[in-house]
Structure 1
Amino acid sequence: MHATNAFTLGLTGGIGSGKTTIANMFAELGASLVDTDLIAHELTAANGIAIEPIQNEFGAEFIQPDGAMDRAKMRECVFADPAKKLQLENILHPLIRQETNRAAKNVNGAYTIFVVPLLVESSNWRQKVTRILVVDCQEETQISRVMARNRLSQEQVLAIMRAQVSREQRLEAADDIIFNEGDLTQIHEQVIKLHSQYLQLAKSSLINLEEND
């Protein structure tokens, strides 16, 4: 990943953990965000560059009248059929990488945070970032948040969680952890502390780069 910053952070967490809220706190302090989930949404929105290949591969019934991908229909399809899931990934993943690289070249913050929901599941992200920050919460909290936010059933949420790595695997991969059970004041204090550390690491990385030039 060729961000203009030497120090890069991979921010991840299970569905409903609060990744976006915490990423935005870092952005307010001066970090640059590259959100792969947001990029995926843009690719599958009306006029998104993934729409034509998705329609060609899956059929017009997976495209809504407004031209966006029918996310609910696609979710049902790929969770029921691993081959279909692979087909969708083969369309989306190269485009996500392309757009992520493009975004990373245009950052101007003190350091870059890549927000990657499936960072631990991916075989190559570990090598692309300097550190991994995991946003963690109780699984019961994840379920209730996603049911309320996305209007999904408990079984649907559990199916999504089962498709992700376990909470234990995610925590094992972490260099840093923020536990998010909803106390935003406490979380903000943790963000400020980590941001200070990341600024120092970014500064050290930049000095090392300049010395090696």
Structure 2
Amino acid sequence: MTAPHASYVVALTGGIAAGKSAVSRRFEALGIHVYDADVAAREVIAPGSEGLAAIAAHFGTDVLDASGQLDRAAMRQRVFGNDAERRALEAITHPRIRTWLHERVRADRGPYCMLAIPLLAENHQHYQWVDRVLVVDAPESVQLQRLVQRDGIDEALARRMIERQARREQRLSLAHDVIENSGDEAALDKVVVELHARYLSLAQAKG
């Protein structure tokens, strides 16, 4: 798919607890819009949406709670360990998430914009139209430590969460730019300012 917009688009990705949110916040502070696939994932199945109606039609209304919203715990149980059901759910949500992101990019009037896509490595064939990929990277030992602290979980569960994602090498193979984020969060400030200048220059050259 070709780029559906005039703007320059940077896809931001990284493993769980690598520091994507910290990087996003810094680009937003510089006036850049960051459109988040996780936000899209909630919006496309909000009560009254086509996405939620499609889920109820496929899985039955027992995956909805009393208020008519998706019962995420019930849905997780349905798809956990069941590849066919997981693929059915993804077939409903993923195209809608991509459409949501396309629409935001099309309407964006900034010099460039960013898409925060945690599972880019798993779905990169659908995002060939982005101009550049920025990967936030941290060693697995750092991810583990942050996950245990952040989510209050044990190391075994944290390890399973990391293993469910694409391998670090897969993400890095897509990267045009890499932010190595194993240290103090304050160190991100300088790196983001430098990348921002680079992206402004690339966007201007494109545009």
Q: Which TM-score band applies after superposition, normalised by the shorter structure?
A: 0.7 to 0.9
CA contact 1:31–1:112 (8 Å) conserved in 2:
yes
Distance in 1 (CA, whole Å) between partners of 2:199 and 2:142 is 28
Distance in 2 (CA, whole Å) between partners of 1:126 and 1:45 is 24
**Counterpart for residue 140 of structure 2:** 139
Whether 2:204 is the aligned partner of 1:203: answer yes
SS in structure 2 opposite 1:181? coil
Distance in 2 (CA, whole Å) between partners of 1:194 and 1:140 is 26
- Determine what percentage of the aligned residue pairs are the same residue: 34
CA contact 2:22–2:185 (8 Å) conserved in 1:
no
CA RMSD of aligned residues (A): 2.2
Structure 2 residues without counterparts, runs of 5 or longer: none
CA contact 1:120–1:126 (8 Å) conserved in 2:
no
Distance in 2 (CA, whole Å) between partners of 1:144 and 1:76 is 27
Task: Tell me whether 39-48 or 92-101 shows the greater mean CA deviation.
Answer: 39-48
CA contact 1:3–1:112 (8 Å) conserved in 2:
no
Whether 2:101 is the aligned partner of 1:100: answer yes
Instruction: Normalising by structure 1, report the TM-score.
Output: 0.85
Q: CA deviation at 1:147?
A: 4.4
Q: CA deviation at 1:182?
A: 5.4
**Counterpart for residue 25 of structure 1:** 26
For residues 88-112 of structure 1, the C-alpha deviation after alignment (integer angstroms, 9 at most, x for no partner) is 0110012112211211111122201
Distance in 2 (CA, whole Å) between partners of 1:149 and 1:73 is 24
Counterpart of 1:3, as a letter, is H
Pair 146,42 (structure 1): closer, same or farther in 2 beyond 3 Å: farther
Structure 1 residues without counterparts, runs of 5 or longer: 207-213
- In the TM superposition, 1:25-174 aligns within 5 A as 25-125=26-126, 127-150=128-151, 154-174=155-175
For residues 153-195 of structure 1, the C-alpha deviation after alignment (integer angstroms, 9 at most, x for no partner) is 5444433332321012211221111122352221111100110
